[in-house]
Each structure stands twice: as C-alpha cells, then as structure tokens.
Structure 1
C-alpha cells in the first residue's frame, strides 16, 4: 500500500518537462528472453537467477549445504513453517565428485530449508529496499516465468512497483511513475492509496504539458488515464476535463469580444487557445466561421523566409513569391502554347497593333467608378515604363530599353507603347510590378508586410482594397520534416515547396492536396567573382565534370524514382518535360550536359589554379600547392541544402575544398561579398526576354563576353519565332562554352495545401496567382 505521506510528497515536487509515454511494464516478456540467453551461456556465474537452480539446507550446526532441487516428501515447492521433528529425506549435492549419489538427511539436524525461488525473491526484495530497481527487475521477471506460485511473490512485486513509482516521482520522472502505477493496477487493482497516487502523478504530467501549451498531449494523458485505470475512483479525469471546458468557454467569450472590437489577430489567438484546450467545445466552429468571414487569414509554411523588401527576380524563388503578393505584375505568365507564353492581366487588356510595333494597355474602370482613379493608374504605369527604359535610371531594364522607344497616355485609361521593331511576345515586356495606384484596380487586394521576425511575416491587405483574404501569415520552419508535419497536422494551411522525397508521405494524407507548379526551374552555380579561380573558364568546366548530376538527381533528389522533368541541363533555359514542351523553345538540345569525369575535373582545375598563380607573379607554380578553399552559399530550401551537401562530397576527393554557407534570403541577394559560388534556382521562363536579364552586361551576372553581347543584340532584333529560336540556341551554345553560370539540373516543383483551402489552381505558375479566389473552409478539429 502507499504511505499516507505519498500524496503530500508528490504535491510538493516541482515539474520539469518530460515526454509522457504510458507503457505497461512487460515484466515477463521483456526480460525472460534475455535471462534465458545469458543463463545458457554461463549457468554458474553471475546473479543468482542466472545460475543452475539449487536449494540450500541450513544445518543446526550452522553449516550450509547447497543441494540439487529437492523433491520434498509432501510434494510441491513449499516449506512449512515447522519442519518435521523426526525422520529423514533424500538430497543430492550440488557440487563435488558424488553429485549422482543420494544422501539421507535427518530432519532433526536441519534448522531450515531455503528454496531457490525463495532465495531469488529475497534478493529481489532487498534490492527493492535498496532502491536498485533495475537490478531487482530481472529477479521478479524470473520468478513470474519459472516459479509463479512462489509464496509472497504477488505482494513482493506490488511492493516493488509501489516503491519504484514513488522513487520515480521523487526524481520528477512523472511519466515513468504513471507507467509503473499502470502495471501495479493491472496486477493489484485494489492497492490501497492507488487512486490518490494516480490523481497526483497525472496532474503533474498535465501541468507540465499546459506549461508548454501542449494541450493535445494533456488531453491524451487524460484519455490514457481514463482507459488504463477504468474502474478505479480517479478524480483527475473529470476535474481536468471540466477545467479544459471552462477555459475553452472563457476563451470563446473573449474571442467574441475581440471580434466585436475588430481586434482580429487577438481574436484568432483566443480561438486557437480554445481549440487547443478543448476542440470539442460547442461554439468553436461558429466563432471560427465568423472570424473567417470578417477577417479571413491563411497561414503559409515556408523554408525560405521572405525578404523585407521583396522584388521580382530570376534567381530568388522566395523574393519573387513575396513580390507576387505585395507587388504583382501588370501582366502575368499563366502558361505556354506553341507561340510562347500566355499572359493575362487583372487590371486591363493588352492589344498589339497590326504593324506589330505598338502595344496598347486599356485599364479597367476603378471599383469606385471614378475615372480619375483610372487615369492615375494609367499615368503611374506610364511613368514606370519611362523609368525602366531610361539608361540613367537605377531601375533601368536593358531588356525593355532596347525595344521600347516611346510611351504615351490617352486619358483616362489608355497607355500606348511604341516598339523599335516587331516583337514575338511583347506582352512579356510588361511583367512590371504594379504600383499601388494600379493595384487598386485589381480584385486580389493590396498587401504589405506589417510585421516580420525570424519566424513570422505578416502580409496584411489594405482594408479599402481587400480581396478574398485579409491577412497571410508566413511561418518559417527550420527543416522540411517540420514543414511537412505542419501541413499534415493543419498547423499551416499551405506550404510553398515540397521536396520530392516528401511526396509519398503527403500523398498518404487524405486531408492534404499536392499541387505541381506549371513551369520547372533551372538549378545552377553562379560564380560571384570573389575568388580569382572561379573566373577561370577551365575551373568552371572542372566543376561541370566533377559533379555527377545524374546520380544526384536519381538517387538523392528522387530517391531512386523516375519523374519526368528532373534531368541534367547544359544551359540556363528550361528543357521542359519532354522534347515537344513549348517552354523548351530556348533550349538547344544539341548541346549535351557534360558527363561526370573526375579525371577531367582534376586536370582542368589544376590548369586553372596554375593560371591563377601565374597571374599572381608565380613563374613556376608548385603543382602540390592546394587549391584555395571555396565558400558555396545556398538558401534554406531543402533541395538546395541537400544538393549542396552532395556537391561537396563529389568535389572534395578531387582536391576542390568547399565550405557550405547557408544564407538567408536577403544574404543570398547580396552573396557576392559573402561566398565564392552560390547555388540558385533560375526562373527563366521567357527566354526571349530573360536571356538579357540574366546574361547581359547589365543583367543579373553583371558582365558578359563580347560574343555573348553580340548574340543578345541579334536576339533583340529577331522578328519571328524561327529567328528567336536560332538566336537562343546560339546563346545557349555560348553559355555552355563560356559558363557564366554552371548548369546543374532542372526540377519540377511541388506545393501542398489542406483540402479545406479552396481556389488554388492545380498547376499555377506561382502560388499566389489566384489568391483572389482563396477560401478557407472551417472544419471541426480534434
């Protein structure tokens, strides 16, 4: 039984976080196999329960004689309290030369008989008193297996469990204490004081979980206690369930007050508290629905946090993702046909003149019907075009400046754009971010970043220009396991990227929908110019030969699966899903990716290093001088992180030492001063425009060879698709030779969202393209 002081001692303990696992102690199953195996190895050494069974006769003279197991005259294995006063019994010695001979022993000379099982139990009891519970455990396990009828065994085990439970409690191991109490209840359900002990221990565990705000685990504890100790007078279950229901009710009342006061974020937190404490509380769904109607919020899980000032970039998925929400472009790429990209606009119509040398943008009427607002939008867009086509401007875009020659406004809603020559896809020139004046014509809402820290970025819509959602909360996760778990459990509504190796896990979840982005991305290494060796073309070629792209794709990224669209590439433009994919129009299939050749990589890297040393004034470079260690920067994206680790494994044995540096989104955008190479994903989805933006002297790379500049100039003058393809194929060939970027592979990319979130396209170009249609259905939780 438990002492009267047990509850007081338990109540005075201070809790510490302990993961609760309620498992019954499997006394028989867990240990007997181990005991039997050890006993077979050595029967006469080690603890008593591992030795060959024997009994002990204690003579009145004090002599102790170990004998083989006795066959007692009265049968069974129980020694009476008073031994016979006369007569004899037979015994065989345990050790010595005559172990097969039987000896007659007079009862009158025997003080007592210790049976083997009694001796084992006595040792187990003593070890229990000494609080050596792990040592005592196998003694009782042996008896349960070999001698379950041992006198006093049940009481000894009950005492062992009680003492062990109390010791675990005193050590603040509340989960273990409760598990032991579960075993005690299973054996002796009427143990005195057991119900009070269970109440005390379970309360401590629940208090720990509440301190951690792990309400689900606290409720699970109650469920397990209720199930395990069914039939016992347990007060903790009803008491705590009552507390949870009362807390949830109070939080709902607070949420209603906050919604009435239009303090929506605080109301959301109050509802979340109610759901966490007691999700079955009446009124939760109704309160969630009201909040979602008045102030809908969607939570996005990411690995790459948005920059504080996002812009549309070819080399930053995270920056472009955020920019597409707070500064969507006037026209957006939505797909591909044999004639190039398909573009749509949420604020107007774009028409091309019959001559092919003038674009007209007709803006839609402002929601207010005021033509002045429409006129302001048209004027703002015209000013933007003039700015980006002015070579003296910091916003100068060479791809537009070489084509657009004149911009004018026809009040109230027309903007005329004259081109220097016909362009095969002039709409692609208008993928410029909308100013607030233009954005107010759209139905998607005007968002801005209202709060940002390492974990959370809040995108809040202007109340006067709100679309389907009022806020989007971007939550950053440390790794893809946590990210995928979050969408699986409903902690977030949508995640922007799913690594391919996580797809099987999410496909098994019926509450999660997996989407595929319509267009692939190109993974490359970009030299920053920080190290002189990366300026050597031979070294850049060495990197191509030294990385086994095919193996990394097949065995690492795809885990042995074959997925169309994942493939090595030889240039910076998309290869598409197959050879007839229209997005492939800029990819020269005649230029093959370089095959893995470590010997060639060593030769080329050595030659490059020799050239660098000579340029530094060393006339006869020492071939044994190691190459300088390079820093390779990558984002926190799971594929980038994994791929860069694999790249290092390939390059290190070749004498190319690489240090990985994981960078934030902002750091990736200014990585030229931090690393020597950076791993990026390119979104060069309209090569006819993006080629110059990436490879031009004023483009992303900041420099270009003369031959590349000549090729880009010829592309700008192309007036039909045949000319465009020919010039892009030539640019691809030049890029493969000069290697301003080191091409690695193309990937198809995935996202995932809870099925309660509707309005997302099955294959969007970017995640937020249909954000104006997003709706989040409220479903009961448990």
Structure 2
C-alpha cells in the first residue's frame, strides 16, 4: 500500500509533463515539416526534443514589459503563457481580444450547429470542432517553418500587444508621467479603442490630469478634465470631491475679484454635475446673505432719500445673487424713483487717445452735456433748426438785425438751468471782444453788437447778413447761470448731488457725475422735481467694452440696455428680435481721408492721386465694413458730407480703382521726391471699423511701394502729445457743409484767416468767397465747385458713407424715431423697470 501511495502521485506528475511537452498535444508543427504521425513518432525522441524546447522558454516572472520605444517602433507581439508559466513570444494571434474566451464560446456554440445529414457532414463537423481545440501561432525565431498550432487546454493565458500597452500605461501613471501615458493611450485609441481596460485607463488619466492641473493652479484646465470625466462616468471614485475642491477655489477667486457672474457660472457648473455637493449649498447661502446685506444698505439710503445710492446698491445686489426673492420689489421701486440707463460703448470721450479730432464718443459727449442755442431738428436736403430757449426770433431791417424772445418757463423734464437774456449777451459779447479767450474771428466778422432789451429779450446787430442766423448761434452758452442758485440743486436731499465738482453752465444738459474703472456716469444738471409722478432718466452710464462682440454680449446678458452702434452683420439679428428695437439715424456717418497741408511729401499732387487710385473703395466697403449686408446701406462718395444734402454735387464722377495708374503716379511722384519715398504716418479714428479699413488701405499702398505706418491708438501714445502725421482717417456727420467745410479743411485750426495760411492760394480764395456768400443759391454753386476741385486735386479722399443704427431694449421708451444724434431727446427717455432673466447671470 505504501508503494502504491508513492507511485500514484509520481505517475500523475509524469502524465502531466507529457501532456505539456508532447508535440502531439502541446505544439503541433506544420504538416510540411514532416510526414510522421504524432502517434508513431518515437516517444524517446519526442520527449527529448520537447523537454529541450521547454527548457529554453522564459518564465512569465522573468519577462520584462516592453518599453515605450519597443511598443511604438517594433512589430507588435503577443505572449502565450503555458500552464507551467513558460512564455512563447509570437506574432499577434486572432481572434482578439480574449482569444481563449472567444474560442471556448465558439466551441460551445458548435453543438448548436444543424444536425448533419450524412457521414461526410458528420466528419466535417468533427474536424471543425477538433480544430477549435487549437490556437494557430507564428513563432518569431523560426524562419523556415514558423507556423504551429497549440492546444487550448495547454495555454494558461494570452497577453496581447494591447495588454502590454495598458501595463506600460499603468507604470507611467504610477510615476505620474501623464504626457507619455496619454501618447500611448492615443496609440491604443487609434488601433483598438474598445479594448478591455481602455476606458478604465482613460478615466484614470483624466482624473490624474485634473489633479495635476489643480496642483499647478490651472483651475480652468482642471475643470475641463473634470467635466470630460463626468460625462463618461459621473460616479467615478473621487470625482465629486475633486470637482468641489477645484470649483470652490475658482468661485473664491471670482468673488475676491468681484466678478460675481463668473462665480455664478462656476457654481452652476458644479450644481449641474453634483447637486448635493456641500460647496453648492454653502456658496448659495453666502451669496444670499451678502445680497441681503446690500439690500439693507439700499433701504437705509432710500430712507434718507438718497435714491441714487439706493438703486446702485440694489443693482449690485442683483449681480451678487440674482435669485434673491427680495430683489424684484426693491429693484422695481428704486429704479422707478431714480431711472438709470446703461449704454454699451466702445470708447468714452474721457479715454486718452492720440486722435485729437472729433470722434463718435466726443460727438455723443457734446450732445449729452451741452444744449446749443439752436440745434438741427431734422434734415430734408437742408437742415431745419429749433431752439429750446427761444420762444420767438425774427430778423428785421433786411436781415441786419434780429430780435430774440426767450422762454420764461420750462417743462419739469428739462435738465438745464433757467437762461436769461443776460446769460446770452454776456457770452456773445465775449466772442466779439478781441483778446478774450472766447473771441471768435469768424463770428466777429458777422456781428456788430449785442444788446439786452429785457430779462428775457435781446437784440443782435449784424455787419453782414449771415446765410443762416440759426447756424451762427448754434453753439452752447458755456458760462455759469447768473440767476439760478445751482448749489441748492446739487444738495437736494431727495435726488442727491447732481455733480461731484464739474461746473454747471447755463446750457448744461447732463454733467459728468463720476468716472471710475473706465465707466463714465452722467447725471442731470438740474434734477427733476421730487413730486413728479413718473420720472425720466436721471443717470446715464457709458460702459466701455473692448470689442463689438463683447458689447453685444453685454446687451444680451442685460449688463446694458442700449448700444449706440451696430455693424451691418448684426442689424438683421436685432431687427428680428422681440426684445429690442433698432433705430436708424437721420444722417449717415461719412468716412474720409485727409492729408496734412503741412506735410511736404503730400504737397506733391501725383503722390496724393497715387494714394487715391490705389484704394479699392468698393471692395473695402463691401467686405470689411458692410460684410456684404444689404440691410445696412453704404455708398461711395465724392465729398466729406452726406449725399442726401442739397449742396452735394452728384455730377462729380467716382474715382475708379486703377492699380496701373496708381503705380505710374507713384513713380512720377518718386522722381519729385528725390528718388525715394518717405515713410508716411497715418492717424485714424479709434472706431474699430475705421481701424480695420485703415489696415486694408495700408496693405493696398504697400503694393505700389508706399510705406504707411498707423499711429497706435493707445494712452501711451496720447501722453506724447499731438503726434506728427501725414494722413488722417476721419469720420464726420456734417449737417451744414457751407459753414462747416472751412474748419474741416484746416484740420482743427478753426475758421480763422490765420488758419488759411497752410492751404493753397486757390483754396483760400474759394473758402473766403464761400464764407462771404449772401444768398443760398450762390453758396450752393460755390460749394459744389469747391467739391469738384478738392476731389480732382485729391486734397481729400472721400471714401464712403454708412447709415448708422442704434439698438434699444424694449423697456426703454421716449427716444426719437430718426435721431440726428444718439442722445436726441434723452431727457424724455423713460427706462421701465427691467429685471434680467436669472439664467443670463450664469452664462459664460
């Protein structure tokens, strides 16, 4: 019995070894290698050869995972692990992945095959089923006959090439070599992205990337990885905590920077992923408490009748936490008492810029802060004037005298002080007094004397009859009022201070209340009476944006309610919107190039004409400015004023683009300049569209050999003083060209005889003759002739005129249907209380 107990285990071991090393059962060589059947082969030789082969195979624990270079550059290989842990390195085997599992499944399914109907079919199925017990492999070291087959039951496991990649990725992740791990994962993604284990490594890599970005304080990138992993597996271990940590820091930073909209956006992202995350509730409570605290401050200010501070506090509370249920009533109550409008602009009049001429922001500023004695009410080929101060004006003595009667009462909504005849006569006398800082040589040539005939009446005597008395008096009276005590208005306890130090003139409309962080706030010079039932706009805030796109985003998000400018590509969008009204201005904006009369190179007419012919105006207008839009009309012009005016000469032909002619003129001018072109400096209106058009023209001029440099529109450049320039790109909106052309051509030097010295003789005589015209017909003929001369001699290059559009949110009422200036009728604007959509506060 003892001998049997010893012999029996030894016998089992021998049988197992034979099964492993026997080529008939373990490795069967290709039939071409020999004709000897496995059953008839000598047992001694078979065991020896097999034993020798197994002895040279490495064990699994001796194998090294392929390196990165081997995995990427060498041909892919698979490892076949036998039952004794010996490893065969072979070419990739199929089917894959899970070769053993797929073969086992196919073997089991073979018993479901249709029942054979003949002996041949029985043998065929038996043969096919027997074949499923083997795996076909190709050895790497065998050159003559590398193909073998190995019995499935002899294989412990198969490690595929893709499994090697995953193991190498695991090692890289342990070392935190995320970049290399990602490269390997990308290789596997391209080859076999549905490989078992791929998704798990990808998720692990995303989590580690998020942590790595978190450690390097790249929180936005970390959040992107978190969001990506959340879309794949919201319940991935540790993801919820990591998302809370990252977003908590981002919200804290946003709150510290007072950018609450960004903080709400991040909070909403966290809540959309993990609503039960503790940080969500904590931050909501924090924002609500801060908003309640601000509302209490607003109530205290309102109790002291400081409604300006109250509405500003409530507006801030809305930004801090828009879902506060107490906000709506407070906002509606205080906004109705102190109406305030936010206007989105691209620049303000107080911004520093080297551009010293009038621009869009200064035109808005002057229209908002000053009321001229006469102002243009509408333009129908010729301008029509109105006055807010005069009840009656009448020329007498064949136009040599004019009598004026002032209004004695004003409507409650009017924002200027009471004006007396003494205020006007004092101002006008200073303009005809040589040596006075307000002396106006051109005005003095018309007016002989001014006399006051009563508190609300005065008389003007003329040396020569002006073409339009209204235009001659179309300036504001920039002097303090003599009668009204403005200090009582500034300290009104109901409305708060009207000014923080800016002097109020008798023609003041709105004044600059404060200028902080680029935002310019304007308040009424004279606030409305406190017993009004419905209040008109009390304050206007011009909020600057870096680009058109940012200002449009601000309008859609409710940061501003009005935009004074719309480019062509967005007019149709706002016209189709139910939330906005689009208003077209009465006068288009004219774009024109003007040359410095004191620039020696540009005194050469051939050079000026070369610059003109080198510009493809139609292409720039269509592609750069209008964006091929038909809604925003634009037209090529030949004068620096609107084509709709009576004085515009339609008989002047358009200058067509001609590159050959431009080159010929450039060559001719080069000879006059000594054989070399100087570098020309160009000053451009800060308007972004003007800047874009200027860049296109500079590129066109470079093609004919002219180098033109654009002067940077920066505050640093402005600090250097008035720059030296040769060309200026201007935007103008003339309504009375007969009177405005002289100061336009002298480029900021005014309408003085001295300013004409920089102009050619023929232009001086033409301007003086135009200024001395005594009737409208002769003046029209003279300016049309001057237009033709200026265009043919290329002293200016009129480019195009573009219709202007403004957009108002529909809660704004009272604005003009066809305004000449953006702030026309601004005193009667009524902003109805508007509570922005809460969702808009959490958009990115």
TM-score band, normalised by shorter chain: 0.7 to 0.9
Alignment partner of 1:297 is 2:343: no
Q: Is the 8 A contact 1:632 1:659 kept in 2?
A: yes
Q: Which residue number corresponds to residue 345 of structure 1?
A: 387
Q: Is the 8 A contact 1:251 1:271 kept in 2?
A: yes
Aligned-pair CA distance for 1:489 = 2.4
Q: Distance in 2 between matches of 1:665 and 1:101?
A: 79
* Alpha carbons of structure 1 residues 194 and 539: separation in structure 2 relative to 1, 3 Å: closer
Larger radius of gyration: 2
Q: Is the 8 A contact 1:488 1:511 kept in 2?
A: no
Q: Is the 8 A contact 2:79 2:87 kept in 1?
A: no
Q: Is the 8 A contact 2:394 2:404 kept in 1?
A: no
Deviation per residue, 1:522-543 (Å, 9 max, x gap): 3222333453112333333332
Aligned-pair CA distance for 1:386 = 3.1
Alignment partner of 1:69 is 2:94: yes
What is the correspondence of 1:70-219 to structure 2 with a 5 Å cutoff? 72=100, 75-76=103-104, 89-93=134-138, 101-105=147-151, 112-115=157-160, 118-131=163-176, 132=178, 133-135=181-183, 137-138=185-186, 145-147=193-195, 150=196, 163-175=208-220, 177=222, 195-219=240-264
Tell me the TM-score normalised to structure 1 length.
Answer: 0.78
Q: Which residue number corresponds to residue 756 of structure 1?
A: 811
Aligned-pair CA distance for 1:761 = 1.4
Aligned-pair CA distance for 1:286 = 2.7
Aligned-pair CA distance for 1:299 = 2.5
* Alpha carbons of structure 1 residues 437 and 153: separation in structure 2 relative to 1, 3 Å: closer
Alignment partner of 1:541 is 2:589: no
Q: Is the 8 A contact 2:595 2:795 kept in 1?
A: yes
Q: Which residue number corresponds to residue 733 of structure 2?
A: 683
What is the correspondence of 1:232-631 to structure 2 with a 5 Å cutoff? 233-261=276-304, 267-307=310-350, 315-337=358-380, 340-353=382-395, 355-366=398-409, 377-390=420-433, 393-397=436-440, 399-420=442-463, 423-435=466-478, 436-437=480-481, 446-452=509-515, 455-463=518-526, 468-504=536-572, 506-507=574-575, 510-562=578-630, 566-576=634-644, 583=645, 585-611=646-672, 613=673, 621=674, 623=675, 626-631=676-681
Q: Distance in 2 between matches of 1:304 and 1:357?
A: 44
Aligned-pair CA distance for 1:416 = 2.3
Q: Which residue number corresponds to residue 772 of structure 1?
A: 827
Deviation per residue, 1:365-384 (Å, 9 max, x gap): 14599xxx999621221233
- Residue segments in structure 2 that go unaligned for 5+ positions in a row: 1-67, 107-131, 487-504, 530-534, 839-844
- Residue segments in structure 1 that go unaligned for 5+ positions in a row: 1-43, 79-86, 577-582, 614-620
Give the root-mean-square deviation of aligned CA atoms: 4.3
* Alpha carbons of structure 1 residues 726 and 255: separation in structure 2 relative to 1, 3 Å: same
Q: Which residue number corresponds to residue 17 of structure 1?
A: none
SS at structure 2 position matched to 1:437: coil
Q: Distance in 2 between matches of 1:413 and 1:309?
A: 41
* Alpha carbons of structure 1 residues 750 and 65: separation in structure 2 relative to 1, 3 Å: same
Q: Distance in 1 between matches of 2:607 and 2:401?
A: 46
Q: Distance in 2 between matches of 1:661 and 1:744?
A: 20
Alignment partner of 1:729 is 2:792: no
Q: Distance in 2 between matches of 1:547 and 1:198?
A: 56
Q: Is the 8 A contact 2:430 2:436 kept in 1?
A: yes
Aligned-pair CA distance for 1:658 = 0.9
Aligned-pair CA distance for 1:55 = 5.2
Residue among 695, 703, 706 paired with 1:653 = 703
Tell me the TM-score normalised to structure 2 length.
Answer: 0.72
Q: Distance in 1 between matches of 2:722 and 2:242?
A: 64
Q: Is the 8 A contact 1:487 1:493 kept in 2?
A: yes
Q: Is the 8 A contact 2:419 2:506 kept in 1?
A: no
Q: Which residue number corresponds to residue 579 of structure 1?
A: none
Q: Distance in 1 between matches of 2:483 and 2:371?
A: 8
Q: Is the 8 A contact 2:401 2:462 kept in 1?
A: yes
SS at structure 1 position matched to 2:696: helix
Aligned-pair CA distance for 1:686 = 0.8
Q: Is the 8 A contact 1:121 1:143 kept in 2?
A: no
Q: Which residue number corresponds to residue 37 of structure 2?
A: none
Q: Is the 8 A contact 1:389 1:400 kept in 2?
A: yes
Q: Distance in 1 between matches of 2:238 and 2:750?
A: 81
* Alpha carbons of structure 1 residues 464 and 653: separation in structure 2 relative to 1, 3 Å: same
* Alpha carbons of structure 1 residues 554 and 561: separation in structure 2 relative to 1, 3 Å: same
Q: Which residue number corresponds to residue 19 of structure 2?
A: none
Q: How many residues align?
A: 702
Q: Is the 8 A contact 1:364 1:374 kept in 2?
A: no
* Alpha carbons of structure 1 residues 384 and 767: separation in structure 2 relative to 1, 3 Å: same
Q: Is the 8 A contact 2:379 2:735 kept in 1?
A: no
Deviation per residue, 1:164-195 (Å, 9 max, x gap): 55444434344555555566666666666555
* Alpha carbons of structure 1 residues 668 and 378: separation in structure 2 relative to 1, 3 Å: farther
Deviation per residue, 1:496-544 (Å, 9 max, x gap): 3333344355556543433222112332223334531123333333322
* Alpha carbons of structure 1 residues 63 and 710: separation in structure 2 relative to 1, 3 Å: closer
Aligned-pair CA distance for 1:236 = 2.4
Q: Which residue number corresponds to residue 15 of structure 1?
A: none
Q: Is the 8 A contact 1:329 1:434 kept in 2?
A: yes
* Alpha carbons of structure 1 residues 774 and 555: separation in structure 2 relative to 1, 3 Å: same
Q: Is the 8 A contact 1:758 1:776 kept in 2?
A: yes
Aligned-pair CA distance for 1:323 = 1.7
Q: Distance in 2 between matches of 1:438 and 1:565?
A: 47
Q: Which residue number corresponds to residue 638 of structure 1?
A: 688
Deviation per residue, 1:261-284 (Å, 9 max, x gap): 466665455333321222121232
Q: Distance in 2 between matches of 1:368 and 1:234?
A: 58
Q: Is the 8 A contact 1:56 1:66 kept in 2?
A: yes
Q: Distance in 1 between matches of 2:482 and 2:387?
A: 11
Aligned-pair CA distance for 1:765 = 0.7
Q: Distance in 2 between matches of 1:253 and 1:649?
A: 59
Aligned-pair CA distance for 1:601 = 3.2
More displaced stretch, 329-338 vs 504-513? 504-513
SS at structure 1 position matched to 2:677: coil
